Amino acid sequence: MSSLPAQVGTAVALFAGTNVDDLVILSLLSAASLSGGRPRRWEIWAGQYLGLASVTGVSLAAGRGLAHIPEQWLWLLALIPIGLGVVSLIGANRALRRGERPEQPSAGGALGVAGLTIANGADNLAAYTPFFATAGWGQITVTLAVFAAGVAAWCLAGGLLARHGAVTAAVARYGHWILPAVFILIGLYVLHKTGGPIRL
């Protein structure tokens, strides 16, 4: 049995290695919150926790033989961020045609943030499932605790990155294009990683 420090180190490496891309999303969402008020800070935190808990829960259940993940359908998760991005772009385009300032796009509150987190974490299932299948319950408990702390650290880091003046200014001025583009890119990334019907 590995020592507690080794278990913590393994869990930290697993979390950080599979969630680096979430930092970009969190910083952009936080910058949008600072400049336009949406999504609210608590919605970002709640959505991130809900989304990662969902991905981790499914991986744990699959790893322990309690559930089966239909991998051929994981690409459908890409439709969440792509849909958010397309709807936001259409709204911004209509506002500009009317001569109005486009509203900052929103991820749709806590559930929208959770949906983005789940979609972006689709490829994490491939890493988490075999890990939970071979880990003992002690290691699993430590990992879940580290993941919970990791979400808080990521949300704080995303908030700090968003406070950089250049980031906030860019999102305030071009957020109606930047955020939808990022949402669509996330969707395309998920399609690529999950081997969707269209090979990218």
Q: Is residue 108 part of a domain?
A: yes
Question: Please, which pLDDT band fits residue 142 given cuts at 50, 70 and 90?
Answer: very high
For 149, the token pair is: 């702390």
Domain contains 150: yes
Structural domain total, the chain: 1
In the chain, the percentage of residues whose pLDDT exceeds 90 is 24
- Domain contains 89: yes
In a domain, 12, yes or no: yes
Question: Is 200 part of a structural domain of the chain?
Answer: no
Query: Quick check: is 51 in a domain?
Result: yes
Confidence check: pLDDT of 141 > 50 = yes
Residue 199 included in any domain:
no
89-125 pLDDT, tens per residue?
Answer: 887 778 777 777 656 555 668 888 888 888 888 778 8
The pLDDT score that the predictor gives to residue 140 is: 93
The tens digit of pLDDT for each residue in 169-199 reads 666 666 667 777 877 887 787 777 767 665 5
pLDDT digits (tens, 9 = 90+) for 16-69: 888 887 888 888 888 888 777 778 899 999 999 999 999 999 999 988 887 676
Q: What pTM, to 2 d.p., does this model score?
A: 0.77
- pLDDT, one tens digit per residue, over 124-135 is 887 898 899 888
Query: Which domain, by its residues, includes 121?
Result: 4-194
